[in-house]
Amino acid sequence: MDRMTEVTAAAGHPPSPDPDPPAAHGEPALRHWAGADAFALLRGLETSRRGLTEDAAAARLAEYGENASVAERCPTVSARIRGALASPFAGLMAVLGALLAVADAPASAAVVLVIAGLGVSLRLWHVVRVDRAARVLRARVGTTVTVRRRPAPGSAPQEHEVPPEDLVPGDVVLLHAGDPVPADARLLRAHDLLVDQSTLSGQRLPVPKASPGTGHRQCRSPNGPQSAHPVTGLGSLVFAGSTVTRGEATAVVLATGPATHTEELAGRAHRPRPESAVDRGVRSVSWTLVRCMLVAAPLVLVVNGTVSGDVRQALLFAVAVTVGLTPELLPVIVGTTLLRGAGRLREAGALVTRPEGIHDLGAIDVACLDKTGTLTEDRVVFTQSTDLDGRPCPEPGEAAAVAVRFQTVPRDGIDEALADAGRDGSAVLARGLLTPIDELPFDHVRRRAAIVLRDGHRAGELVIVRGDPDTVLPRCTHAVRGGETVELTTALRTAAADAVDRHRAGGMRVVAVATRRTPAHDPDPEHDLLLLGFVGMVDPVRDSAATAVRRFRDQGIAVKVLTGDDTTVAEQVCARAGIEVEGVLDGPALDALDDAALVRAVQRTTLFTRLGPVQKERVVTALRARGHTVGFLGDGVNDVGALRVADVGISVDGAVPAARSAADIVLGDRGPDGVVTAVEEGRRTLGNATRYLTVAAALNVGNALSVVIASAVLPFLPLLPTQLLLQSVLFGVAALSLPFDRVEPGWTARPRRWDSRGMLRFMVVLGPLSSAFDLITFWVVWRHLGLDTPAEQAIFQTVWFMEGVLSQVLVLLLLRTHAGRPARPVVLTVAAVVAAGLALPFTPLAPVFGMTAPPAAVWLLLAAVVAPFLLCAAATRSLYLRHVLSIHPADKDR
């Protein structure tokens, strides 16, 4: 009954023909050491069972570096700065500043560069804040490792605790139940060892591990192998990122840090991320403005240079057109909306690791969720105890509870659930005083556990066996039925199998319970058993699951379930969570499909079961190929690839570092409710950014069009580049309040994307409309105010500046349409901007920007021009709702 296994190297052991480590690294090296004998293993790693000396460990630490994942390393200052400069608008602003400097307008160049610096600083501040929050998450859990080392050569080994970061290849570590495995290691000795490696392999249940030569050379998932010979199935290896759930072991470290198998999988997190839906939308709008610049600026340069003969003036006109087409504060506005959204998500318990991910959240139309821990509570709960016919019967539960009570190995989730099946155990304990004699713990080869007890009132011993019905039933010869012991005939075996199927069809995990009275010291107590019945357990569906699924449906998001678990159980969980399963595709069937066939299949499939890491990634990629914007929720290393290829990767606090690193959003709660809340916030943030970008682009097109026309008819610039910049800055300051504003009713009712075509259609309407009223302003100032000479251009430019500030800011407020009363920050900011823009020409700062105080008639002119313009702009609101926001009448009531 002793299940201790150990590999020893005899003193006279012949040397291995290949004692040196293999030339290759990674998986080939792991496979090499998995089957090597202990003598060759220790010799190849230049270590011993007594462990490394402290000096040798220090030298190897300097050589191999800390045992830390790439995801946990603090980014350098230069890396943070490069990330902040990655915005395409930062480069555009720098080029614009250079053009102004060439055009001999240093003041305008300085303003542009200050604005560019402000945008970069805002992004850098956000990156630093996110990194600090991530370090707080990692600091919540601190662990140490028991390592065997020697103070000096020839001294006795000592066992002491060290941080996992200090481990090096060749270290001898001691593992116990509950310990995380700190590095890839080969077992030297193992006692009843079970390891949870679900974060690497996707296997839901722990797998047995043992040193070579004990019959556990390769472990497979109960759902079938993910590949022919997965390295995680090698029974003599344990991997960084896994956890010991039972037993104890001594192992020698093979690989640390970036060289571990975990980091090989996590390397998927460092591949370039595919362009997201929001990235594509922003790029489309930006290139539209760039194309307008490439056409308008040279045209103005040629036309004005030909008409006026003044090259410098023509260059200033061209630069003014470029300025007019550039939303200078776009980085700042977008950054502010992102930070506001990130702040609201942080208040809801979510950490944003990629700012642009907030916008992408608003575009999600498919949410890929895992079953375990997301729809369910990730804990096993006792539900019922029945006889072989499926009728309620307390005896199986009572017997299982007694067995758990007397087991010596640490309990797992199933053991805790069985303990709840009979809290007092009175039905069995009343038969006599029981004393534990021996036990055979559960493992995935036998798939059952046995406990041998001595009964103080009866001769012999009592054996209680519990485990998978497929392995327990063949060992039973009799059963308890109706309180009597009967022979387990073929008919009764069929009845028992039907009862098990009914349990499983209900989404329950089933444990068969049997007993036997044996004489003392029976070498094989697990035969001729008496079947008591079955214990049913479930992983309860979260109370919030059905509500969250309904909220997903109301928001127009399709839910797909991706799990490594069995199809029958997953279907039952989906039913209880309110998910209508329209199609099922399991891992083996998915592997039989090529990419094109999978793209067709994912559209009609709701449930994907028995999936491995690469299969999850293929499903997400196929969904994106269908044109969907995909959000994927995962927490294990086996989810990293899918997290990375999804439009929005979502992980949870407590996930492995690689998963958190690959994710855009890290939720504090694993439940689906957190995902729904994050999506709603993403849509609000996207709505505010969309409003600013659409209105700013349209008005900038209008400004540029006005300058183009003016360049052909006016002897001077209608507005200096500095004044255009100041006007744009004031408009941007007003837009800075948008993150605090409400969004349109119906905007959060369904997925939202950057609709470039809708924006362009609206720009074609509002831009020329704005330019038309600019030309009216030109005509009135030119003809009726008599400001028609270069000497009077300062007053001309001042009047247009005042008209532009007033009309543009009020249009931004006007297009809120049905969003309700503006938020107080919006009202205060807009009022302050309008007051500043109208008062500036009357202040000592006016000459700095080339302005002067206008005549009193300007106020009547502003009222006569701005009021009709706002009325015409109001007529475009239905176009704005329909083509830009894509809000239909039915959406407004949602």
**What does the pLDDT look like over 440-477, one tens digit per residue?**
877 656 778 999 988 777 778 899 999 989 889 999 99
Is residue 396 pLDDT above 80, yes or no? Answer: yes
Per-residue pLDDT at 122: 67
Which region among 162-171, 332-341, 492-501 has the lowest average model confidence (pLDDT)? 332-341
- CATH code of the domain covering residue 583: 3.40.50.1000
Last residue of a domain, one of 217, 247, 270: 270
Residue 97 falls inside a structural domain: no
Per-residue pLDDT at 169: 94
- Short-list 103, 96, 93, 108, CA closest to 850: 108
Residue 842 falls inside a structural domain: yes
Per-residue pLDDT at 226: 37
Q: What global pTM score does this model have?
A: 0.62
**What does the pLDDT look like over 227-239, one tens digit per residue?**
345 788 888 999 9
Residue 693 falls inside a structural domain: yes
CA–CA dist 130, 113 (Å, integer): 26
CA–CA dist 173, 175 (Å, integer): 6
- CATH code of the domain covering residue 164: 2.70.150.10
Per-residue pLDDT at 308: 66
- CATH code of the domain covering residue 410: 3.40.1110.10
Are 255 and 306 contained in the same domain? Answer: no
Per-residue pLDDT at 121: 78
Residue 555 falls inside a structural domain: yes
Are 690 and 808 contained in the same domain? Answer: yes
Helix (H, G, I), strand (E, B) or coil at 819: coil
Q: Starting at the edge strand that comes first in sequence, how are the strands of the sheet with 366-369 ordered?
A: 350-352, 665-667, 648-652, 630-633, 366-369, 558-562, 607-609, 584-586
Are 634 and 522 contained in the same domain? Answer: no
Is residue 174 pLDDT above 90, yes or no? Answer: yes
**What does the pLDDT look like over 656-674, one tens digit per residue?**
665 776 788 888 776 677 7
**What does the pLDDT look like over 476-517, one tens digit per residue?**
999 999 889 999 999 999 999 998 888 877 778 889 999 999
Are 553 and 632 contained in the same domain? Answer: yes
Are 516 and 552 contained in the same domain? Answer: no
Helix (H, G, I), strand (E, B) or coil at 827: helix
- CATH code of the domain covering residue 858: 1.20.1110.10
C-alpha neighbours within 13 Å on the C-beta side of residue 481: 14
Are 713 and 812 contained in the same domain? Answer: yes
Residue 279 falls inside a structural domain: no
Are 644 and 767 contained in the same domain? Answer: no
**Mean per-residue pLDDT, 67-95:** 66
**Mean per-residue pLDDT, 706-712:** 76
Are 880 and 761 contained in the same domain? Answer: yes
Residue 82 falls inside a structural domain: no
Q: Which helix (H) or strand (E) holds 587?
A: helix 587-591
Q: How many CB atoms lie within 10 A of CB 885?
A: 23
Is residue 251 pLDDT above 90, yes or no? Answer: yes
Residue 128 falls inside a structural domain: no
The yes-or-no answer on residue 171 being catalytic is: no
Are 439 and 389 contained in the same domain? Answer: yes
Last residue of a domain, one of 218, 235, 270: 270
The percentage of the chain sitting over the pLDDT mark of 70, rounded to a whole number, equals 75
Residue 662 falls inside a structural domain: yes
CA–CA dist 722, 720 (Å, integer): 5
**How many domains is the chain partitioned into structurally?**
4
CA–CA dist 631, 469 (Å, integer): 38
Are 435 and 479 contained in the same domain? Answer: yes
Give 715's strand partners.
Answer: none
Are 555 and 607 contained in the same domain? Answer: yes
Q: How many CB atoms lie within 10 A of CB 100?
A: 27
Per-residue pLDDT at 70: 61
Per-residue pLDDT at 230: 74
Parent domain of 233? 4-72+141-270
Decide: 873 and 767 in contact? Cβ < 8 Å. Answer: no
CA–CA dist 208, 227 (Å, integer): 18
**Mean per-residue pLDDT, 513-537:** 89
**What does the pLDDT look like over 292-320, one tens digit per residue?**
777 777 877 787 777 667 776 677 677 76
User: Left (φ > 0), alpha (ψ -120 to 50) or beta: where does 105 sit?
Assistant: beta
Distances (CA, A) of 594 to 590, 616, 622, 628, 644: 8, 14, 11, 19, 21
Among candidate residues 370, 664, 755, 774, the one labeled active-site is 370
Q: Give the CA dihedral 97, 101, 106, 109, nearest 10 degrees.
A: 0
Q: Give the CA dihedral 13, 15, 18, 23, nearest 10 degrees.
A: 90
Q: Give the CA dihedral 311, 312, 317, 323, nearest 10 degrees.
A: 130
Last residue of a domain, one of 507, 538, 569: 538
Are 153 and 249 contained in the same domain? Answer: yes
Which region among 180-189, 325-334, 486-495, 823-832 has the lowest average model confidence (pLDDT)? 325-334
Mean pLDDT of the chain: 78
CA–CA dist 538, 372 (Å, integer): 11
CA–CA dist 714, 723 (Å, integer): 17
Which region among 4-8, 123-127, 256-260, 280-284 has the lowest average model confidence (pLDDT)? 4-8
